[in-house]
Amino acid sequence: MSKDDENRGMNDFSVTKCNIISSAGKHLDKLVDNPWNGITLNESIGLQAGDPQFISGEIFLNDEIDIFNEMSLVGDEVVDLKFKTPGKKGIEFQGRVYSTGYYRSPDGASTGLSIKFCSPEKISSDQIKVNRSYRNVPYSEIIKDLFVPLNDISKKTIYVEPTKNIGSLVVNNESPIDAINKVVQVSRSTGYNGANYVFFESVDGVFRCRSLEGMVDPSKVEPVLTYTFEHTMGEKNDIRKLAAITSFRVIKFPNIISDVQGGMYGSTVVSNDLMKRKVTYNNFDYLDSYDKYKSINFNEISVGDQSKTALTNNDKFRSSSLVHFIPRNYKSFDTEINFNDDRSDLSLVRRSQIQQMNAIQVQVTVSGDSQRKVGEVVGLRLPSTKREDGELDQLLSGRYLISKVKHVISSNVSKGYSTVMLLVKDSYGKPLPKRVG
C-alpha cells in the first residue's frame, strides 16, 4: 500500500464548503451554518446507454428557516462544494442547480430540500448548436475544435488521446457534445487497434476523450489500489481497512442471449456505395480478433492447456447474429476516407468492445475516498463461496476499470462518508477451462 494511504482512518472526512449562491447573490452559508443532511457526487465515463458524461449530484438540506423562499431556489443557482479525506487530494466542484424538490427522511423525523445539480457545461451544451465542416483532419483535432464553445464556461480543459485515423465530415446544427460523441464512435488511438473511445468529465476539472485500451492496457497500467473483502478487520485505523470493501454486489455476468443479439461475439456490416454501385461485407469475429486488442487482463495467461482470458470458450458463434447496414458515398468530400467509411469499418468493433467492457460488473462500497475517480484501474480480492481462509474467487477477483463513482456523505456521524464504485471488466484473470464438444 502506498504511503499516501497510510495516514487515513476509515470514514474520516471533512466538508470545508457546501454553499449555494442564489441568482440574487445570496449565500446559503451566510444564512445558516451547515444546513446539509447529505451530499452525493456522481462521476461516470458513460459506458452504458443513458449514463451521464458530466458530473452531477444532490444536496439534502434541512429547511428550518424556509431556505426555499429565502433563497428563491427555482433553478440555475450556483453550487460550490469542497470535501476531502485526510491525506488524499480533495474534490472541489462548482455546478449549477437544475432541479429542486422536497424530501422526507425514511424515518419521517426530518423534512427539507433536495437540490440537484450538474456541470454548467451540461446546461450550456444543450443550448449551443455548431456548424462545422472538416476535410482530412485527425479525429482528435476535430474533437478539440468541437469543444471550443464549452471552453470558456468554467475554464475547464480537454485532454484527447491522439487518433491515428483522419477523416472528413460535416456537423450540421448539433450540440458540441452530440457532435463529439459522433466523432468518438470512429476514433482509433495511435497506440491501439480498437474503436473504443469514451468522452467524460472528471472531478479534477478536465474533460477526457480516451480509448478504453489506453486506460486498461495491463502492460502499462497498474492498479492504483487493490480492494479486499474481509468480514473482520479490527479497529477503525487498522491499515487493512484503508483498502477494505464494506459490501459488494455482482451486478452482471455475461448474458449469452443479449450478447449474441447485440453482436458482441459475431456480426456483419453491409455497406452500399451508391457511386460505385458496390455492396461490401465486413465480418467481425470475437475470438479471431481477440489478440488484436488490449483487454484489462493480459490476453494470454498460461494455465494448464488454456491461455486465453476471453469471456467465452465457445468458437461456434456466427457473424450473421447481427447484420448492420451503413451507406457509403465514394469521395463524398473528394477525399479517400470520410466519416461513413470509418463507420462501416469500425462500428462492429466498437459495438463489441463496449459490450465486452460491460460484460462483468461489480458494485463495491468502500470507505470514503476523495481520490478515486473514473477511468482508473483497481484490483479486487473477493472470497470464494467455499469460504476457506484465503481462497479467492478466481473469476471475479482481478483487475477492473472504474466505470462510475458515487461519493455519499452524511452529516450523521455513524454513516459518515462512503464511496460506491461500479467496476467493470472485459476479460477473466484466469482462462476458462477447455470446452468439451
Q: What value does the mean pLDDT take over residues 362-375? A: 94
Q: What pLDDT, on the 0 to 100 scale, is given for residue 9?
A: 43
Residue given cell 468458437 in the structure block:
315
304 has a pLDDT exceeding 90: no
238 has a pLDDT exceeding 80: no
Query: For the whole model, what pTM was predicted?
Result: 0.91
Query: What is the percent of the chain with per-residue pLDDT over 70, rounded to a whole number?
Result: 92
In degrees to the nearest 10, what's the CA dihedral of 284, 194, 252, 44?
A: -140
- Calpha distance 208→87 (Å, rounded): 26
89, 171, 187, 188: which is closest to 133 by C-alpha? 171
Q: What value does the mean pLDDT take over residues 285-298? A: 95
Q: Which distant-in-sequence residues (6+ apart) come within 8 Å of 134 by Cβ?
A: 142, 145, 167, 168, 169, 170, 171
Query: What is the percent of the chain with per-residue pLDDT over 90, rounded to a whole number?
Result: 65
**233 HSE (CA, 13 A, CB side):** 17
* 60 in Cβ contact with 110 (< 8 Å): no
Indicate the CATH number of 125-215 among 3.40.50.970, 3.55.50.10, 3.20.20.140, 3.90.420.10.
Answer: 3.55.50.10
* Domain extents in the chain: 125-215, 256-355
Q: Which helix (H) or strand (E) holds 242?
A: none
Q: What pLDDT, on the 0 to 100 scale, is given for residue 434?
A: 85
Q: What value does the mean pLDDT take over residues 102-117? A: 79
Instruction: Work out the pLDDT band at 165, boundaries 50, 70, 90.
Output: very high
* 325 in Cβ contact with 305 (< 8 Å): no
Q: SS3 for 285?
A: strand
219 has a pLDDT exceeding 60: yes
Instruction: Work out the pLDDT band at 104, boundaries 50, 70, 90.
Output: confident
179, 192, 189: which is closest to 210 by C-alpha? 189
Q: What pLDDT, on the 0 to 100 scale, is given for residue 7?
A: 36
The pLDDT tens digits of the residues spanning 267-290 come to 999 998 877 888 999 999 999 999
Q: What pLDDT, on the 0 to 100 scale, is given for residue 275?
A: 78
The residue that leads in pLDDT, 102 or 56, is 56
Q: SS3 for 207?
A: strand
5 has a pLDDT exceeding 60: no
Q: What pLDDT, on the 0 to 100 scale, is given for residue 8?
A: 39
2 has a pLDDT exceeding 60: no
CA 238, 243, 245, 246 dihedral sign is: positive
Q: Which helix (H) or strand (E) holds 273?
A: strand 266-273
Q: Is 375 left (phi over 0), alpha (psi -120 to 50) or beta?
A: left
118, 28, 113, 19: which is closest to 71 by C-alpha? 28
Maximum C-alpha span of the chain: 73
Q: What value does the mean pLDDT take over residues 304-325? A: 88
Average pLDDT for the chain: 89
Q: What is the residue-wise DSSP string for 127-144? A: T--EEEEEEEEEHHHHHH
Q: What value does the mean pLDDT take over residues 317-332? A: 86
Q: What's the residue count for the chain? A: 437
- Calpha distance 427→254 (Å, rounded): 10
